[in-house]
Structure 1
Amino acid sequence: MAHFYPARLGFKPLPTLQLLWFSVLLTAPLTALAQQRTAVSGTVGSSTGAPIEYATVTLHRAADSTVVKTEFSNGQGAFRLEAAGGSYLVSAVQVGYGRYWSPAFELTAEGLTLPGIKLTASRVTALKEVKVTARKPLFEHLADRTVVNVADSPLSAGSTTLDVLSRAPGVTVSTGDVLGLRGRTGLLVVIDGKRTPLTGTELADYLRSLPAEQLQSIELITNPPAQYDAQGGAGVIAINLKKDQRLGTNGSVNAGYGRGEYGKFTTGLALNHRRKNLNVYGNYAYADRRGFFRHNFNRQYAESALLPAASSVLANEQLTHLRSHTGKVGLDVNLSKRTTLGISASGLASETNSRTANNTQLFGAQGETTSRFTSLADQDLNRPSVAANLYFRHAFADSATARTLSADADIAQYRTTRLLALNTYYEQPAYSPRLLSGDQGTTLTIKSVKTDFSAPLPYRARLEAGAKVTRIISDNNVAFVRTANGMSALDPAISNQFRYEENVNAAYVSVRRATSKSTLQAGLRAEQTNTLAATVGSTSRERHYFQLFPSALLQRTLNERHGLALSVARRIDRPSYGQLNPLRAYSDASSYRAGNPDLQLQTSYNIELTHMYRQKFSTTLTYAQTDQPIVSAVQLSEDGGRLVVNRDANLKTQHTYSLALDAPFELAKWWTLNANGVVYYSRFQGTLAGTPLDRGQPAFTLAANNSFGLSNGWTAELNGNFQSGEIWGFEVSRARGQVAAGVQKSLWEKQGTLRLNMADIFYTMPGRATSTYYNFSESFRVAQDTRVVTASLTYRFGNSKVAAARKRTVGADDELRRAGQ
C-alpha cells in the first residue's frame, strides 16, 4: 500500500502560528492607511420615555437606503454607529414596536447626536406586552445570496434536511439524489461553516439523517467571493444549525410523528446557559424513519461480438429503516470585551437497515424469455461521524470596523460500515442459489487550520486576507465472498483496498469598497493541491497542481428603484473520495455503484448580471462554462455480460445559460407570496463509452411559497415547486414536482408551537429518466415514501430575554455567513 505525505512532494504545510503571522504580515502595510472614523449616536425609548434595550438600530445610506451598519441599544437605550462621513438615515425597531425612520442627515468629522428616538407600540403586539416573538420572513433575497429561514416554517416539522432543500427556490434534487442549483450541479455543502466531504447518494443519505428541526437557516450562494473555498462550481449551500441566543438557562424540547406508508418519528432537546462572559450549550436529536424506494428498470442491450441483442425488466422494492442520533456541545468564553475563545464538538450516528427484493427477466431479440431470477439484498449501513472545532477571535478596538484576527482548528472523522448479504435465486435456467456477502469499511479523516484577518482601509474600503491548510485521508477496504453449492470463497476480482489523500493549501486577499451608490469587491484565491489515489495491485495516481481563482463583484444603484450587480468568478470541483473510490456497492444482482479513479477535476468560469427593482424583485442572467464536467453515467460493466455499473465520468464541456426571477408579493396584510422561477439551457459536449454527445435542451423550475398570518396565533404555509424535463449528460429526465401545506399554532403564551403538515400531497415526486448509449439504454422510474402527514409539538422553557449580538470576526464557524461591512 502506497503512503502519501505532503512533505514527500517538497511541500511542508504551515503550522497554525506561522499562518497567523502570514496574515498579519500580509496586511500590516495596508492597515496603516486606515482612516479616522466618526460616529452618530442617540437613544431609543418608548412613547412613555422608558429606555428600550436591544433595539435594532441600523445606519443606511441616504441615497438608496443600503444598510451600512447595525448595532443594538444598551440597557439605557443608547447606541453608537461608526462610519465615514456622508449622508445617512437611521432606522430603529424592536419586537412589539413599529419601525422608526429618521430624516436624512449629514455625518461630519465632528460626529452627530440624534434627538431621542421614540418607538410606538404595534397594535398587533401591544395586547401581550413584550411576550411576542419576532418571526423572520421565510425567504430573504440579499445581494449575494438567498436565505431560507427554516426554523419558523410549519413545513419543517418532521422533515429531513434533504426535504427542506428540495423545496428551496432554485434547488433541485435529481432522480439520482444529486443536488443542483439554478440548473447546475457541483455544489459545496457546509454545515455550520464546515465542509461536508460527501457527494451524490452519500451526501443525500447524510442529509436524510439530519432532522430539519435542528436547522436555523439555509443560504444559497451562487457566486461566492475569494474568502470561500474555491470548491463548488455551481456555488455554496450553507446550512446553519440552531443556536439559542437567550440569556440565563433555557432550552426546548420537541417531538413529532409522521405517517406515509410507513412511520417517521423525531424528537430533540436543546439546553443553553448564557451569561455575560460565558455560554455553554448542547443539543441532541433522534430520528426513527421507515420508508421505501421502488425502482423499475427497462434496459436494452445492443448486439455485440460476444452476445446477441437483448432486453431486461427489473422491479426493485427496498424497505428502509433509518435511526439517527445527532448532537452538539460547545463552550464560548469571552476572555475580554474584544476576545473570544471557544470549543465545540458535534456528532451524527446513523444506522440504516434495508431489504431489497428484486425480480429480473431477460428477453432475447425476439422477445422470448431467456432468464428469470429473483434476489434479496439485506444491508446494514452504519455511518458515525464526529467533529471538533477550536476557535479564537480578537478585535483590536471596540469599533465594528476595527481590525480583527481569527483562527480556527478543525478535525472531523466520518466512518462507514456496510454489511451485505445478497441471495440470488434462479428460475430460468435452473441454477443453484448463490450468495454474495460483502464487508466494506471506510474511514475518512479531515484536518484543517485557518486564519483570517480584516482591516479598514481609506475611502470606505476594507481588506480581508487569510490562509488555510486542509488534509483529507480516506481508507477504504471491501471483501466480497461468493457462496454456491455450499462452497465459499473470496472473490479477489472485486475485493480490494483503496486509499485517497488530499492536501489543499490556500491563501486569499480581498478588497471591498463602498460609496453612496456603488460597491466594488475584488479578490484572488490561490490553492495548491496534492492528491494520491492508490488501489492495491494498481499503479498509484498522484496529481499536483496550483490554480488561481479570481473573483469580482460590482454593485451600482441607478436610482431609488433600480440597481445592478455584476459578478464574475472562477471555481473548481475536485472529485470526492467517493467518486474516485473504485470499490463496489451492490444494489441487486445485476447492478452496482462504483467510483472512477480516472476522474478529473472540473473547472468553471461564471458570470452573473442581476437587476434589482425596489430592492425586492430580482432578475439574474447567468452564463457558465465548465471544462471536464462530471456527470453520472450508467454503463455496461467491464465484467461483461449484462451487469450494469453506475459511476461518474468526465465530458469535454458544458455551457449553461440561465435566467432567474425572484419576486416577493404582499397580497394582503395576512398573505405573502414568494415566487421564484429559473429558465436555463445546458449544452453538453464530449464522448463516453464510445458514444459522442453534443446536445442541449431548455428547462425550467418554478417555486411558489405562500405564508399566511391568521388570527389567534395560527399561521399557515402552502408550497409548490415544479421541475420540467431536462437533459443532464446522457440522461433525459421527465418533469416532476410537489405541493406541500402546513399550519402551526402558538400555545402557552408562545412557549409552545403545534405544527401539522402534509408533504407531496398529490404524490407527484416519483421521477423518470432515460440514458442512451450506442450499445445500451436504460429507462427507470423511482418512487419514495414522500407523501407524509406529520404532527409535532415544540416547547420552550427558561429565560426569554435575548442577548445582544456580539461583533465576531469570520472564521470556520461563520465562513459562509459573511456579509459586506
Structure 2
Amino acid sequence: MRRILTAAVIGLSSLLNTAIAQTSSTIKGKISDNSGKALQSVTVSLLKSTDSSLVKADVTDANGAFEMVYGKEGKYLLSYVMIGFERTYSPVFEVKNGQGFDAGSITLQPAATKLQDVTVTSRKPMIEIKADKTVFNVENSINATGSNALELLQKSPGIQVDNNENISMKGKTGVRIYVDGKMTQLGSQDLAAYLKSINSNDVEAIEMISNPSARYDASGNAGIINIRLKKNKRYGTNGSVNMGLVQGVTPKGNGSVSLNYRDKKVNLFSNVGINIGRYENTLDLYRVQRDSVYDQKSTNWSNNKSVNAKLGADLFLNSKNTLGFLVTTNFSDNDWTSESNTNISYNPTKQFVKKLVALNTIPGSRTNMNSNINYRYADTSGKEINFDADYGLFRGTGRSYQPNNYLDNTGNMLSQVINRNYTPTDIDIYTAKVDVDQPKWKGKLGYGAKFSYVKTKNTFDFFNDINGVPVKILSRSNSFTYNENVNAAYVNYQRQFSPKWSLQTGLRMEQTNSEGVLTRADGVIQADNTVKRSYLDFFPSAALTWTVDQKNTLNLTFSRRIDRPTYQDLNPFENKLDELTYEKGNAFLRPQYTNTIELSHTFKYMLNTTIGYSHVKDFATQTTDTTNNATYVQQRNLATQRILSFSIGSPLPIAKWWNGYANVWYNYQMFKGKIGANEVKTEIPMFGAYMQHTFTLGKGYNAELSGWFSGPNVWGATWRTKSLGGLDLGFQKQILKKQGTLKLSVTDIFFTNPWTATSNFGGLFINGRGQNESRTVRLAFSWRFGNNQVKAARQRQTGLESEAKRIKG
C-alpha cells in the first residue's frame, strides 16, 4: 500500500510540474451596469472569431470580475450575457502564448423592453451535467407535477427508493439528504414522512453530488443529495399559488402559497404548503422457517395531513455585510393502519395449523423545526466569511393498538393477544460553524470549523391488554437517551495551474464523543445498557482535472467518508411489530468508513462517463434473523463491501422542438462477513437507467415523457429483488397571459413499479412482494403574480448539516 501511495505522489508531482511549466494566457475583465454597479453571474463566453464557436465560458463573481486561463494562440472575441441586459460583444482580439488580454471595464445596457413588461422564456435544461454534480431542474418538469419530494427522488437519475423507502444512489446506500444545503435531521420512517410532505411545486432542483469536498460533512458514503427549494429572485412584491389533485386508489390534494418582497436593503420570503390524502399499499410475505410456513398478506393505509412553512429575511447592511434569518417548520399527522392475515401450516405435509389475523392502528404526529441565523462578509479582494448558528428540534409521538387473533380453519377463535405501545421521541440539535474563502497562493483557499451537539430521548412503553385494561409490561419497556458531540475542522485548496490542469484537495478532521444509556423499566441492568465512544478521524479528498482538448476533459477524484449509526438503531431494546415479527436495535453498532476513487470523462461538455471503486469497512446493513418461531430485523456490521461502478449520461438535443436526457449506470457489489454464526459472501451485478424527453408543441403546449428502470438488485446483504421501473407521460399548457400553468400527467403507465424480492439465508426463506399507489393521474395549476424583474438570490447553507438521516421512527 505504501508503494502505491508513493507512486501516486510521484505521478501527481510530475503532472503538476509539467502543468506549471506550460505557458498560458489570462483573459480578464470587469462588468458593471450603466450606473457603475458590479454585475454578478454574467455569463462570459470566449468565442472563435472565425465562426463564433464556443471555446470556454466563465461567470463573473460578486465584484463583476472574470478571469479565464487559456493557452492556444488565435483570434477571439468575448460575449457577455445576463437576463435583463442587452447581449454585448467585445472587439476581436488576438491571444499569444504568455501574453494576456485585459478586456477592461465593460458596461452592459438594460434591455430595451423592461422585464416586467415581457415574459422571460429561457429555460434551464431538465438535467444539467456539471463537473461536481448532476442537477435535476424539477421546476421545468411536467411529470414532477403533484409529486412529493420522495417521489421526485425516485424520478431522479441514478436514485433508487426501495420498498422500505430507503434511498440509494447508483446502487450505493448511505446517501445523505440535504434541504437547501442543510442535512435533514431524520432517518428511515421519519425522513420518508418528511419528504412526502414536501410538494414538487416548492422544489426548484435536486442536486446529486457523488464525491463532496472537505467543506462538506464527512457523513454519507454514497454522496449527497441536496433538495433546493424555491427562493425569491425578484425585486418588488411577488408570489405564487399552486394547487394539485392526485387520483390513485383514493384522491389526494396539495397546495401552497408563497409571498415575497425584495429591494436593495431587504429580502423577505415566505411559503406555506399543505398535503392531505389517504395512501394505500400492500405487502405479501411467504416465509419458511424450521418446519412451519407463514403466508402473510397485508394491506396498509396511511392518512396523512401535513403543513410546511418557511419564513426568512436577508438584511443587506452594506456592500460587504449581510445578515440572514430563516425558520422552517413541518407539522404532520400520520394515522397508519394495517390488516394482515397469516396462514400458518406444517411444512412437511402442508397441513393447515392456524391463522393469525392481526390489526394495527398507529395514530402519530411529527413536528420538525429548524432555525438559522447567518452572517456573511464579502469584500472586493474575493474574501468571504460565513457564520451560521442553528437550532433544530424533532418531536414525534406514536401509539399502537394491535389485537392478534389466532383462528382455526373454521374461523373460531383459538386465542387472542392484544398489544399496545407508546413511543414518543424528542431530539434537539445545536450547531455552529464558520467558513472562510479567500484568494491565496494563486488559487482559492477555504477553511472552517464546526461544532454540533445532539441530544435524543426515546421512550418505548409496552402494554398487554388484559380484559380491556392496558397493563404495562416492565420487562419490555425502556427509555433510551443518546448524546453526541462532533467537533470538526477542514482546509480546502483549489487552483488552476494552467489552461489544462486544475487541482482541488482538502482534509477534514472530525472528533466524535457519544454516550448511549438504556434504562429498563424493570431495573434490570444489561451489558449494553451504557455504551460510550470517543474517536478521531481524518477525511482526505482530492480532485485533479485535465482538459485534454476542447472536446475532452478528465477528472480524477478521491474521498474518504463515514456513516454513523442512526440514533435509534443504537437502542438495543425490541419493538414487536406483531406476534411473529419484531425489530431490534444494536448498541454496539459501529460507524462504517468508505474510500472511493472515481475517474470521469466529459466529451463536448455533454457526454459524461464515470468509472469508480469503493471499499467499505464495517459495512452496516439491515439483516433478517430468527429466534424460535419469530423473525426479527436488526442493523449489523459485516466485514467489508466492495463496489465497482460505471455510469454514462448525456443531454440529447435531438431537434429544435425535442430535447432529452439519458443515463445508464452499472455496479458490481461484493459483500463478505458474518451474520451471527452464518457466513455472508455475496457478489451481485446491478444496473439501471433513466431517460427523459421534452417536446415543445407550440401555442403554449409542451409534453414530457420520462421513465426509469432498475435491474435485479440487492437489499442489505441477503435480499435479492427482481427488475422494476416506471414510465410517466405529461402535458402542460400556459394560460392567463403566460402567468399561469396547467399540467396533466399519468405516472407508472404500465404499472411496472410493484416489487418482488427473495431472501434465503441462515435457515430462513422469505419471498416478498408489494406495491403502492404508483399509477396515478395528476392535475396541477399554478399562478404567478407580482413583479417579474429577475434578481440573483443569495445562496447560503445553514450549519445543521452533519447530524442527518439519523433519527429513525
Normalized against structure 1, the TM-score is what?
Answer: 0.87
Matches within 5 A, 1:365-514: 365=347, 366-395=349-378, 397-399=379-381, 402-428=382-408, 430-459=413-442, 461-486=443-468, 488-514=470-496
Is 1:83 aligned to residue 67 of structure 2?
yes
Aligned-partner Cα distance in 1 for 2:337–2:126? 38
Alignment-mate amino acid for residue 522 of structure 1 = T
Is 1:592 aligned to residue 582 of structure 2?
yes
Task: Indicate the residue corresponding to 1:625 in structure 2.
Answer: 615
Is 1:771 aligned to residue 759 of structure 2?
yes
**TM-aligned CA deviation for residue 133 of structure 1:** 4.0
**TM-aligned CA deviation for residue 731 of structure 1:** 1.0
Aligned-partner Cα distance in 2 for 1:691–1:814? 37
Is 1:57 aligned to residue 42 of structure 2?
yes
**TM-aligned CA deviation for residue 488 of structure 1:** 4.1
Task: Indicate the residue corresponding to 1:704 in structure 2.
Answer: 691
- CA separation of 1:801/1:276 partners in 2, compared to 1, >3 Å: closer, same or farther? same
Alignment-mate amino acid for residue 268 of structure 1 = S
Aligned-partner Cα distance in 1 for 2:84–2:70? 32
Aligned-partner Cα distance in 2 for 1:681–1:802? 46
Secondary structure, counterpart of 2:60 in structure 1: strand
Which residue, out of 629, 653, 658, partners 1:666?
653
**TM-aligned CA deviation for residue 451 of structure 1:** 0.2
Which residue, out of 219, 222, 237, partners 2:207?
219
Aligned-partner Cα distance in 2 for 1:112–1:338? 26
- CA separation of 1:805/1:784 partners in 2, compared to 1, >3 Å: closer, same or farther? closer
Task: Indicate the residue corresponding to 2:325 in structure 1.
Answer: 343
**TM-aligned CA deviation for residue 584 of structure 1:** 4.7
Aligned-partner Cα distance in 2 for 1:793–1:162? 21
Is 1:720 aligned to residue 711 of structure 2?
no
**TM-aligned CA deviation for residue 299 of structure 1:** 0.4
Task: Indicate the residue corresponding to 1:523 in structure 2.
Answer: 506
Which residue, out of 280, 286, 295, partners 1:313?
295
Which residue, out of 775, 780, 795, partners 1:792?
780
Asked whether the equivalents of residues 182 and 797 of structure 2 are also in contact (C-alpha less than 8 Å), the reply is: no
Asked whether the equivalents of residues 350 and 383 of structure 1 are also in contact (C-alpha less than 8 Å), the reply is: yes
Asked whether the equivalents of residues 233 and 572 of structure 1 are also in contact (C-alpha less than 8 Å), the reply is: yes
Pick which of 205-214 and 439-448 moved more. 205-214
Matches within 5 A, 1:266-281: 266-281=254-269
**TM-aligned CA deviation for residue 689 of structure 1:** 3.2
Aligned-partner Cα distance in 2 for 1:101–1:706? 33
Alignment-mate amino acid for residue 764 of structure 2 = F
Secondary structure, counterpart of 1:202 in structure 2: helix
Aligned-partner Cα distance in 1 for 2:574–2:195? 22
Aligned-partner Cα distance in 2 for 1:815–1:333? 27
Asked whether the equivalents of residues 757 and 790 of structure 1 are also in contact (C-alpha less than 8 Å), the reply is: yes
Secondary structure, counterpart of 1:695 in structure 2: strand
Asked whether the equivalents of residues 129 and 650 of structure 2 are also in contact (C-alpha less than 8 Å), the reply is: no
Is 1:236 aligned to residue 224 of structure 2?
yes
**TM-aligned CA deviation for residue 173 of structure 1:** 0.9
Q: Report the count of equivalent residues.
A: 753
**TM-aligned CA deviation for residue 809 of structure 1:** 7.2
**TM-aligned CA deviation for residue 361 of structure 1:** 1.1
Aligned-partner Cα distance in 1 for 2:31–2:322? 28
Aligned-partner Cα distance in 2 for 1:740–1:582? 43
Alignment-mate amino acid for residue 113 of structure 1 = G
Task: Indicate the residue corresponding to 1:363 in structure 2.
Answer: 345
**TM-aligned CA deviation for residue 691 of structure 1:** 1.9
Asked whether the equivalents of residues 131 and 749 of structure 1 are also in contact (C-alpha less than 8 Å), the reply is: no
Aligned-partner Cα distance in 2 for 1:128–1:704? 35
Alignment-mate amino acid for residue 81 of structure 1 = A
- CA separation of 1:54/1:743 partners in 2, compared to 1, >3 Å: closer, same or farther? farther
**TM-aligned CA deviation for residue 213 of structure 1:** 1.6
- CA separation of 1:348/1:126 partners in 2, compared to 1, >3 Å: closer, same or farther? closer
Q: Say what the alpha-carbon RMSD is for the aligned residues.
A: 2.9
Pick which of 719-728 and 223-232 moved more. 719-728
Alignment-mate amino acid for residue 406 of structure 1 = N
Secondary structure, counterpart of 2:475 in structure 1: coil
CA deviation string 1:643-681 (max 9, x = no partner): 222222111110101110011111110111100000110
Aligned-partner Cα distance in 2 for 1:54–1:258? 43
Pick which of 710-719 and 253-262 moved more. 710-719
Aligned-partner Cα distance in 2 for 1:653–1:661? 27
**TM-aligned CA deviation for residue 332 of structure 1:** 0.9
Task: Indicate the residue corresponding to 2:16 in structure 1.
Answer: none
Secondary structure, counterpart of 1:207 in structure 2: helix
Task: Indicate the residue corresponding to 2:541 in structure 1.
Answer: 551
Pick which of 725-734 and 576-585 moved more. 576-585
Aligned-partner Cα distance in 2 for 1:560–1:774? 56
**TM-aligned CA deviation for residue 756 of structure 1:** 0.9
Aligned-partner Cα distance in 1 for 2:751–2:376? 49
Alignment-mate amino acid for residue 707 of structure 1 = T
Alignment-mate amino acid for residue 491 of structure 1 = I
Asked whether the equivalents of residues 56 and 92 of structure 1 are also in contact (C-alpha less than 8 Å), the reply is: no
Secondary structure, counterpart of 1:163 in structure 2: helix
- CA separation of 1:238/1:101 partners in 2, compared to 1, >3 Å: closer, same or farther? farther
Which residue, out of 717, 725, 734, partners 2:722?
734
- CA separation of 1:96/1:711 partners in 2, compared to 1, >3 Å: closer, same or farther? farther
Secondary structure, counterpart of 1:710 in structure 2: strand
Is 1:353 aligned to residue 315 of structure 2?
no
**TM-aligned CA deviation for residue 773 of structure 1:** 1.6
Which residue, out of 318, 322, 327, partners 2:309?
327
Alignment-mate amino acid for residue 40 of structure 1 = G
Asked whether the equivalents of residues 718 and 739 of structure 1 are also in contact (C-alpha less than 8 Å), the reply is: yes
**TM-aligned CA deviation for residue 310 of structure 1:** 1.1
Task: Indicate the residue corresponding to 1:568 in structure 2.
Answer: 558
Aligned-partner Cα distance in 2 for 1:190–1:85? 34
Asked whether the equivalents of residues 594 and 646 of structure 1 are also in contact (C-alpha less than 8 Å), the reply is: yes
Alignment-mate amino acid for residue 511 of structure 1 = Y
Asked whether the equivalents of residues 100 and 119 of structure 1 are also in contact (C-alpha less than 8 Å), the reply is: no
Aligned-partner Cα distance in 2 for 1:607–1:140? 23
Asked whether the equivalents of residues 55 and 93 of structure 1 are also in contact (C-alpha less than 8 Å), the reply is: no
Pick which of 533-542 and 275-284 moved more. 533-542
Aligned-partner Cα distance in 2 for 1:657–1:749? 52
- CA separation of 1:133/1:812 partners in 2, compared to 1, >3 Å: closer, same or farther? farther
Aligned-partner Cα distance in 1 for 2:86–2:660? 22
**TM-aligned CA deviation for residue 89 of structure 1:** 6.0
- CA separation of 1:565/1:502 partners in 2, compared to 1, >3 Å: closer, same or farther? same
**TM-aligned CA deviation for residue 80 of structure 1:** 4.2
Normalized against structure 2, the TM-score is what?
Answer: 0.88
Alignment-mate amino acid for residue 437 of structure 2 = S
Aligned-partner Cα distance in 1 for 2:285–2:193? 22
- CA separation of 1:549/1:153 partners in 2, compared to 1, >3 Å: closer, same or farther? same
CA deviation string 1:424-469 (max 9, x = no partner): 222138434331111110011111000011110133x110000001
**TM-aligned CA deviation for residue 126 of structure 1:** 13
CA deviation string 1:466-510 (max 9, x = no partner): 000111111000111102445642122321101111111000001
**TM-aligned CA deviation for residue 71 of structure 1:** 5.5
- CA separation of 1:204/1:42 partners in 2, compared to 1, >3 Å: closer, same or farther? closer
- CA separation of 1:469/1:814 partners in 2, compared to 1, >3 Å: closer, same or farther? closer
Matches within 5 A, 1:680-695: 680-695=667-682
Task: Indicate the residue corresponding to 2:595 in structure 1.
Answer: 605
Query: Structure 1, unaligned stretches of length 5 or more?
Result: 1-36, 73-78, 303-308, 817-821
**TM-aligned CA deviation for residue 398 of structure 1:** 2.8
CA deviation string 1:493-543 (max 9, x = no partner): 321101111111000001100132221001000000011111114430011
Alignment-mate amino acid for residue 669 of structure 1 = K
Alignment-mate amino acid for residue 450 of structure 1 = K
- CA separation of 1:350/1:90 partners in 2, compared to 1, >3 Å: closer, same or farther? farther
- CA separation of 1:678/1:317 partners in 2, compared to 1, >3 Å: closer, same or farther? same
Task: Indicate the residue corresponding to 1:651 in structure 2.
Answer: 638
Task: Indicate the residue corresponding to 1:13 in structure 2.
Answer: none
Secondary structure, counterpart of 1:312 in structure 2: strand
Is 1:70 aligned to residue 53 of structure 2?
no
